[in-house]
Amino acid sequence: MSAKISVTEIPTHKLNLTNIVTGYPRLAQEISRQPELGIFRSFAALNAQDILYLQAEIIFWEKELRIEQKKDSEEPGNLRPNFNKDWLVLEYGAFGPNKDEAECRQHEIMLRLRHLLHKYSV
């Protein structure tokens, strides 16, 4: 009985291109063997447009956050004035037993901004 060799044990440069299906798989294999063949479009204009849209969206939600922060800081007699000073209070206001939609608003905006800022920073 002959010993079986897995594909991962065969060095990439020794793989026979005829065993790889035509199209993107074969082209990718050829580029991996000869990196100078790899010419890729950068989509610079689309990337720039996407960044501009992200900036506009972040600016919009930043303004909404500032409005909610101001309203919450002026709300007497509950936890909302403390939202700007304590993340746990903000979190409790959003998920606590006595939450209302107004108490969730600042938290929802901040979570949306966190997601957008992560996309923008990557």
Per 3-state DSSP, the chain is made up of helix, strand and coil in percentages (nearest 5) of: 70, 0, 30
Task: Tell whether the model's pLDDT for residue 44 goes beyond 90.
Answer: yes
Residue 89, domain extent: 44-121
76 pLDDT band (50/70/90 cuts)?
A: confident
**Mean predicted confidence (pLDDT) in 60-72:** 95
- pTM of the entire structure? 0.67
pLDDT mean over 53-76: 94
Q: Do residues 48 and 101 both lie within one domain?
A: yes
User: What distance in Å separates the CA atoms of residue 64 and residue 56, rounded to the nearest whole number?
Assistant: 13
Residues 50, 25: one domain?
no
Query: How many Å apart are CA 112 and CA 96, to the nearest integer?
Result: 20
Considering the domain architecture, whether residues 54 and 113 belong to the same structural domain is answered as yes
Q: How many other CB atoms are found less than 10 A from the CB of residue 15?
A: 14
The answer to which of 28-32, 67-71, 77-81, 110-114 has the lowest mean pLDDT is 77-81
Token pair 């304590």 in the structure block, residue: 86
Task: Quote the CA–CA distance of 90 and 93 in Å, as a whole number.
Answer: 5
- Quick one: 33 and 89 in the same domain? no
Average pLDDT over residues 92-111: 78
Looking at the structure, do residues 66 and 111 belong to the same domain, yes or no?
yes
Q: Is 77 left (phi over 0), alpha (psi -120 to 50) or beta?
A: left
| Same domain (yes/no): 117, 101 | yes
Per-residue tokens: 19? 């065993």
